[in-house]
């Protein structure tokens, strides 16, 4: 008997994209290094006192929603436990929350930067064998923008660890005596530049492949994608908040889940758009984040979910991922 064979496939074998709840805005109240915390509570109080007026402005900027509905806005704070660990959660987090409260601010979600590299399972959660390191997963989703006139000579970002927003200057010097065009040097150029170029070359990691240290800019890109609800691990949501109401903080960072939900009444952690209120020293880092986000391919199903949900609420969400992020760099912060 001839003919095409019938193939049966269990639907459970096909990974489904897990749905996540969405706020309208994810508002980041800061990102400090361990060295900032070492300066003591006065440093934290100054930070939140400077942040407070800009938080109010960001909240107001969401604007009225159709039918008079209340905007859903959640706040978050990212702690750098990836590059250094000069203090413990038990010593560091309570003064942080107290300083925020003193300024009239509530931190709904507290996140560990190391979770953006490789999130550990939440307490009581079984470890998945196929759990993927987030940073590694995002690296594999990078689709480099080919600059005009590109001939494919440049090694891919997966090998070099460097991502650019345009055309690099030639790496090899050209002798004017041998160059028939007389051109000795060519400047770099930004792809899609408006008038003049603002060229950037971003380092994504350092060290050998088996011992990579991810850059601050790359981890911050992962952080933005997580807040936007656009990352999945084999269909599963990543860095899902763990309830942490009125609990003691441990002496080890690895004993904490990647994201803590500290406010039981908080709106969802993930959001249609994000806004981050950061010290000005983070401006070059966030410029690099935008270069990276502009070249990340996110799952079509995750994008579709956001588009359908936001359209159903009459809330306009930009098509481009990078355009869903915004920043405030207060003077003196």
Q: For residue 117, which phi and psi values (nearest 5 degrees)?
A: -90, -55
**Minimum mean pLDDT among 3-7, 91-95, 197-201: which range?**
3-7
Give the chain's radius of gyration (CA, Å): 22
**pLDDT digits 0-9 by tens, 45-99:** 999 999 999 999 999 999 888 888 899 999 999 999 999 888 899 999 999 999 9
Name the residue with higher pLDDT: 182 or 119.
Answer: 119
Band of pLDDT at residue 132, cut at 50, 70 and 90: low
In the chain, DSSP assigns E strands to 23-32, 73-79, 109-112, 162-164, 166-167, 189-190, 201-203, 205-206, 213-214, 232-233, 236-237, 242-243, 259-261, 271-277, 325-328
- pLDDT value at residue 43: 93
Q: Inform me whether the pLDDT recorded for 167 exceeds 90.
A: no
Rounded to an integer, the average pLDDT of 133-151 is: 82
- Tell me whether strands 23-32 and 73-79 are parallel, antiparallel or unpaired: parallel
210 compared with 228, residue with greater pLDDT: 228
Q: Which of 94-108, 156-170, 229-243, 250-264 has the lowest mean pLDDT?
A: 156-170
pLDDT in tens, 284-304: 999 999 999 999 999 999 999
pLDDT of residue 63: 82
Q: Is the pLDDT of residue 8 over 90?
A: no
Instruction: Determine the pLDDT at residue 292.
Output: 97
148 pLDDT exceeds 80? Answer: no
DSSP secondary structure, 188-230, as one string: -EETT-BSB----EEE-EES-GGG-EE-HHHHHHHHHHHHTT-
The span from the CA of 197 to the CA of 188, in Å, is 8
Of 72-81, 154-163, 175-184, minimum mean pLDDT range: 175-184
Average pLDDT over residues 19-28: 97
pLDDT greater at residue 209 or residue 106: 106
Higher pLDDT, 253 or 16: 253
**Which H or E run contains 92?**
helix 89-102
Q: Tell me, what's the pLDDT at 108?
A: 98
Q: Which residue has the higher pLDDT, 233 or 306?
A: 306
**CA–CA gap between residue 309 and residue 290 (Å, rounded):** 24
pTM of the model: 0.88
Which residue is associated with the tokens 């107290």? 98
> Please, which residues bridge with residue 271 across strands?
23
Residue 166 has pLDDT above 80, yes or no: yes
Average pLDDT, the chain: 87
């Amino acid at each position: 008997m001839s003919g095409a064979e019938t193939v049966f496939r269990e639907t459970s074998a096909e990974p489904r994209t897990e749905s996540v709840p969405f706020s309208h805005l994810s508002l980041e109240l800061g990102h400090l290094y361990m060295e900032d915390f070492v300066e003591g509570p006065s440093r934290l109080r100054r930070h939140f006192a400077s942040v407070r007026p800009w938080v109010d402005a960001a909240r107001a900027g969401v604007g009225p929603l159709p039918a008079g509905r209340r905007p859903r806005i959640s706040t978050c704070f990212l702690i750098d436990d990836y590059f250094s660990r000069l203090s413990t959660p038990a010593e560091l987090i309570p003064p942080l929350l107290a300083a925020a409260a003193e300024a009239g601010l509530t931190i709904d979600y507290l996140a560990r930067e190391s979770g953006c590299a490789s999130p550990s399972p939440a307490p009581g959660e079984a470890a998945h064998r196929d759990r993927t390191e987030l940073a590694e997963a995002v690296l594999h989703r990078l689709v480099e923008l080919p600059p005009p006139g590109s001939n494919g000579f440049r090694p891919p970002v997966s090998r070099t660890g460097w991502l650019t927003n345009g055309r690099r200057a030639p790496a090899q010097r050209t002798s004017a005596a041998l160059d028939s065009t007389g051109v000795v040097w060519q400047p770099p150029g930004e792809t899609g530049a408006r008038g003049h170029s603002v060229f950037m070359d971003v380092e994504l990691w350092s060290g050998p492949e088996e011992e990579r240290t991810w850059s601050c800019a790359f981890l911050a890109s992962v952080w933005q994608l997580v807040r936007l609800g656009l990352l999945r691990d084999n269909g599963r949501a990543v860095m899902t908040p763990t309830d942490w109401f009125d609990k003691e903080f441990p002496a080890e960072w690895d004993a904490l889940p990647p994201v803590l939900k500290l406010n039981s009444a908080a709106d969802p952690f993930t959001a249609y758009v994000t806004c981050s209120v950061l010290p000005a020293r983070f401006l070059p880092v966030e410029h690099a984040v935008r270069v990276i986000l502009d070249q990340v391919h996110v799952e079509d199903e995750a994008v579709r979910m956001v588009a359908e949900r936001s359209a159903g609420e009459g809330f306009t969400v930009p098509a481009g991922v990078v355009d869903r992020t915004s920043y405030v760099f207060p003077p003196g912060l």
